[in-house]
């Protein structure tokens, strides 16, 4: 129930407005806040750091970009495991200040990345990723447990699609138009987005807690201490295991597709321009938004869970089908990226937001969706780092030439098979546990 003393003046005003006003306000705040975070994480992937080496180990030289991506991912992955405690225990009013401090720390690390000589600057990419992995769960913890959470969570999820393309386009623009070097490009891009970040977080801070009607409909979302988290995992371990398995497959595919988009398109013979990043992801985002809006009409939480599992399976099969069609010569490089993007996010967005939110509402148990998300994220990024390191080991030590397109293709087949099977297993496990 809402604590009146914790609600700001703007929050009181929002409580008195029609639901549509609150939804639009909170969606804009959530979209802009999380999209801004990407400006401090993803810009460096917009360039290839071509011809640059990271270091030589046992006589083997490692390429700079792949080690840079792994360095940041190690920090991001560590952040996810830290976030299991931090994000699940954070009170609502401390979440926005925490997000601000974490992102500003990440920007300072990008500055040190630019100032420090190569390859020693890679440590600052690790430190850049270290705070950013907690941002999603901290922001989503403000939005969850409401009758309109689907809309608010959708704004956050599609911000990943749009912002990834936009910030990489801005990053390329700073290099091509402003003449910024590859190493100064990330911190410059982050600085450009600072005003948007400040405004978005100021708006997000005004969002009032869930109302009594929200709690009645979606169950209470309270901070979880260590004992409560452990009890929840023990109670629902088989279901959580299946959730995490499907999620980590999608997470691994998403990160490879996103981090090496520039490299994969070039391997396919496509000449990459700054507009490609934003154009491809904008088309993907619009298609996913249209598909996700249908969930707002499903009031029954149990039916919503089944519908989510169906669309997650469909998206995973579509994602794998894009690879099959590409190999058969039926898709151009850009068409391949649009199709695999639609399939990916048709599966990933429901998984990340709607499925877990409706699952908790249907189980009628006190917990937080942000805890389950950060738990799944942790193992998702652990899987991603494992794939990156395996590729480098096979390429450098065993002299097996592996392109990023090949890695993406293999993972797409794994997603196509594993995610639908884990969804079926989850449906069987949950069939007697869910309530309306």
In a domain, 316, yes or no: yes
Q: Is residue 366 part of a domain?
A: yes
Q: What mean pLDDT comes out for the span 344-367?
A: 82
C-alpha 238: how far from its chain's center? 24
Inside any domain, residue 435: no
**Structural domain includes residue 436:** no
Average pLDDT, the chain: 86
Please say if the pLDDT value at position 59 is more than 90: no
- Of 124-128, 140-144, 264-268, 376-380, give the range with the top mean pLDDT: 124-128
* Burial per residue of 220-232, b for 16 or more beta-carbon CB atoms within 10 angstroms, e otherwise: ebeebeeebbeeb
Full domain range(s) for residue 215? 4-430
Token reading at 131: 């705070």
**Range name among 107-116, 203-212, 228-237, 384-393 with the lowest pLDDT average:** 384-393
Q: Please determine, for residue 81, whether its predicted confidence score (pLDDT) is greater than 80.
A: yes
CA dist 313 and 355 (Å) reads 13
Structure confidence by residue, pLDDT tens digits, 297-354: 787 888 888 999 999 999 999 999 999 999 999 999 889 999 999 999 999 988 877 7
Any residues with CB less than 8 A from the CB of 50 and at least 6 apart, and which?
A: none
The CATH number covering residue 282 comes to 1.20.1250.20
Q: What is the pLDDT of residue 3?
A: 53
pTM: 0.75
Distances (CA, A) of 117 to 96, 121, 123, 183, 422: 34, 6, 11, 10, 45
Q: Is the pLDDT of residue 276 over 80?
A: no
pLDDT band of residue 228 (cuts 50, 70, 90) is confident
Q: Which residue has the higher pLDDT, 369 or 422?
A: 422
Instruction: Tell me what percent of the residues of the chain surpass a pLDDT of 90.
Output: 36
Residue 287 is predicted with a pLDDT of 84
Q: Report the pLDDT value the prediction gives residue 278, as an integer from 0 to 100.
A: 66
For residue 436, what pLDDT band results from cuts at 50, 70 and 90? Answer: low
| CA distances, 369 to each of 34, 315, 330 (Å) | 17, 22, 40
- Please say if the pLDDT value at position 136 is more than 90: no
Distance CA 97, CA 188 (A): 23
**Average pLDDT for residues 91-103, to the nearest whole number?**
92
CB 429 within 8 A of CB 242: yes
Residue 17, CA atoms < 13 Å, CB-side half-sphere: 16
pLDDT recorded at residue 111:
97
* Mean pLDDT to the nearest integer, 171-187: 91
- Over the stretch 191-226, which tens digit does the pLDDT of each residue have? 999 999 999 999 999 999 888 888 877 776 777 788
Question: What's the structural domain count of the chain?
Answer: 1
Summarize pLDDT for 374-428 with one digit per residue, the tens.
888 888 888 888 888 888 778 777 777 788 899 999 999 999 999 999 999 999 9
Q: Give domain status of residue 207, yes or no.
A: yes
56 forms beta bridges with 61
Average pLDDT over residues 172-177: 89
Over residues 135-164, the mean pLDDT reads 83
Report residue 133 as tokens: 């992995």
Residue 369 lies in a domain: yes
Helix (H), strand (E) counts: the chain: 18, 2
3-state secondary structure of 336: helix
Reported confidence tier of residue 174, pLDDT bands at 50, 70, 90: very high
Q: Is residue 323 part of a domain?
A: yes
Average pLDDT over residues 117-126: 91
Q: Looking at the DSSP assignment, which residues form a beta bridge with residue 60?
A: 57
268, part of any domain: yes
């Amino acid at each position: 129930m809402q604590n009146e003393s914790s609600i700001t003046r703007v929050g009181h005003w929002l409580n008195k407005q029609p639901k549509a006003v609150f939804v639009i306000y909170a969606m804009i705040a959530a979209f802009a806040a999380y999209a801004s975070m990407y400006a401090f994480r993803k810009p460096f992937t917009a360039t290839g750091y071509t011809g640059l080496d990271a270091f030589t180990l046992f006589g083997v030289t490692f390429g700079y970009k792949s080690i840079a991506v792994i360095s940041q991912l190690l920090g991001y992955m560590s952040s996810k495991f830290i976030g299991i405690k931090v994000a699940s225990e954070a009170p609502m009013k401390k979440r926005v200040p925490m997000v601000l401090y974490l992102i500003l720390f990440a920007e300072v690390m990008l500055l040190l990345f630019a100032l420090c000589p190569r390859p020693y600057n890679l440590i600052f990419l690790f430190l850049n990723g270290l705070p950013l992995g907690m941002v999603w769960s901290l922001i989503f913890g403000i939005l969850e447990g409401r009758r309109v959470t689907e809309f608010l969570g959708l704004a956050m999820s599609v911000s990943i699609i749009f912002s990834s393309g936009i910030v990489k386009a801005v990053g390329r623009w700073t290099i091509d138009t402003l003449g910024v070097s590859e190493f100064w490009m990330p911190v410059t891009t982050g600085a450009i987005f600072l005003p948007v970040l400040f405004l978005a977080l100021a708006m997000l801070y005004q969002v009032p807690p869930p109302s009594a009607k929200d709690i009645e409909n979606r169950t209470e979302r309270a901070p979880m201490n260590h004992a409560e988290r452990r009890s929840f995992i023990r109670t629902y371990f088989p279901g959580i295991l299946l959730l995490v398995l499907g999620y980590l497959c999608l997470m691994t595919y998403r990160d490879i597709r996103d981090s090496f988009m520039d490299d994969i398109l070039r391997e396919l013979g496509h000449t990459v321009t700054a507009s490609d990043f934003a154009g491809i992801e904008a088309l993907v985002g619009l298609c996913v938004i249209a598909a996700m809006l249908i969930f707002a009409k499903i009031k029954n939480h149990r039916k919503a869970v089944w519908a989510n599992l169906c669309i997650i399976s469909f998206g995973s099969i579509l994602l794998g089908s894009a690879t099959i069609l590409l190999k058969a010569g039926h898709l151009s490089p850009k068409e391949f990226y649009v199709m695999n993007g639609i399939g990916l996010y048709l599966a990933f967005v429901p998984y990340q937001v709607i499925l877990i939110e409706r699952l908790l509402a249907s189980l009628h148990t006190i917990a937080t969706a942000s805890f389950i998300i950060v738990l799944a994220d942790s193992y998702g990024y652990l899987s991603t780092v494992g794939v990156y390191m395996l590729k480098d080991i096979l390429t450098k030590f065993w002299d097996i030439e592996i392109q990023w397109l090949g890695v993406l293709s293999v993972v797409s087949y794994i997603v196509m098979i594993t995610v639908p099977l884990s969804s079926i297993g989850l449906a069987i496990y949950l069939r007697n546990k869910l309530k309306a």
